[in-house]
Amino acid sequence: MWIVSYLSVFVSSCSQILSWKNVTLFLSSTVERSFTKNLYVMTKDEALKQFAYYGAVWFGNSKQHFAFSAYCRLNGWNKLADKWKEEAEEEWDEAEEVLNRLVELGCKPADLQEAMKTIEFPFYDDPKQQIESDYNPEAVKMMSELAQAFADDYPTQKLIQKWIDGEKDHMAWEAQYLNYIDKLGYENFLTAMM
Ligand SMILES: [Fe+2]
Ligand SMILES: [Fe+2]
C-alpha cells in the first residue's frame, strides 16, 4: 500500500519538475493571452497569480541551488559552493518576500496556496550544465513585464525591480563563468574553483 501511495506522490511530484524554459513557457502563455494588437493588458488578477507563481518557482530554484552548493562542497569546488549558496539564500529570501507581500495585499487563499508551493528543478551533477540550465535572460524579460503590471502598486513593483537587479547580477556571473570555461578549459576552471 505504501508503495502505491509513494508512487502517486512520485508521479505528482514529477509533474512539478520544471526547467527554467518550462517556467518561461508557462508564464508567457499567460502573457500571450493578455496581448491585444500589441497592447499590453495583463489584468491585476493575472499579475497577482503570476507573482504568486514566482514565489513557488523561487522556493524550488533556491532549494535546487542549496543542493548543488552542497554537491560542489563535497567535490572540493568551494568557490562554486559559496556562489551557489549565496544565490540560494537570496532566492529563498525573495520567495519569502512574495508570501509577505501577498499577505499584505490581502490575497485570496488560492494565491497564497500557489506561492507556498515548491516548483522542483532538476538536479545536475555537472557545474557547466548547472550554469547553462540556470542562465535564462527570458526570466528578466518576463519579470520586467510583470513589474509593469504593478504600475499602480509601488511596493510590489519595487520588490520585483529588486529581484530583476538580483537576477541581472546572477546572470552576469554565470555568463562570466561560462566565458572562463571557454577561455581556460573546463579542467582549469574547476581547479580555479577549489
Ligand atoms: Fe536561480
Ligand atoms: Fe537568481
Q: Is residue 6 over pLDDT 80?
A: no
Give, as one character, the DSSP assignment of residue 148: H
Residues 46-79 have pLDDT tens digits of 999 999 999 999 999 999 999 999 999 999 999 9
What is the whole-number distance in angstroms between the Cα of residue 19 and the centre of ligand 1?
11
Q: Is residue 172 over pLDDT 70?
A: yes
Q: Is residue 83 over pLDDT 70?
A: yes
C-alpha cell at position 176: 562570466
User: Residue ranges of the domains in the chain?
Assistant: 2-7+42-192
What is the whole-number distance in angstroms between the Cα of residue 182 and the centre of ligand 1?
22
Higher pLDDT, 99 or 5: 99
Predicted confidence at residue 177, as pLDDT, reads 98
What is the whole-number distance in angstroms between the Cα of residue 173 and the centre of ligand 2?
10
In sequence order, which residues have a C-beta less than 8 Å from that of residue 12 and are 6 or more positions away? Answer: none
Binned at pLDDT 50, 70 and 90, residue 42 comes out as confident
Predicted confidence at residue 35, as pLDDT, reads 45
Q: Is residue 103 over pLDDT 70?
A: yes
Predicted confidence at residue 13, as pLDDT, reads 43
What is the whole-number distance in angstroms between the Cα of residue 52 and the centre of ligand 2?
17
This prediction's pTM: 0.83
- CATH (one of 1.20.1260.10, 3.40.190.10, 3.30.1490.190, 3.40.430.10) for 2-7+42-192: 1.20.1260.10
**120: phi then psi, degrees, rounded to nearest 5:** -80, 140
Q: Is residue 187 over pLDDT 90?
A: yes
User: Which neighbouring-strand residues pair with 36?
Assistant: 39
- How much of the chain, in percent, has pLDDT values that exceed 70? 79
Label residues 162-171 b or e (16+ Cβ within 10 Å = b).
Answer: ebbebbeebb
Higher pLDDT, 25 or 14: 25
What is the whole-number distance in angstroms between the Cα of residue 121 and the centre of ligand 1?
10
**121: phi then psi, degrees, rounded to nearest 5:** -110, 145
What is the whole-number distance in angstroms between the Cα of residue 86 and the centre of ligand 1?
10
What is the whole-number distance in angstroms between the Cα of residue 174 and the centre of ligand 2?
10
Could you tell me if 98 and 38 are in contact, meaning their C-beta atoms sit under 8 angstroms apart? no
Mean pLDDT of 145-154: 94
Predicted confidence at residue 73, as pLDDT, reads 98
Predicted confidence at residue 131, as pLDDT, reads 97
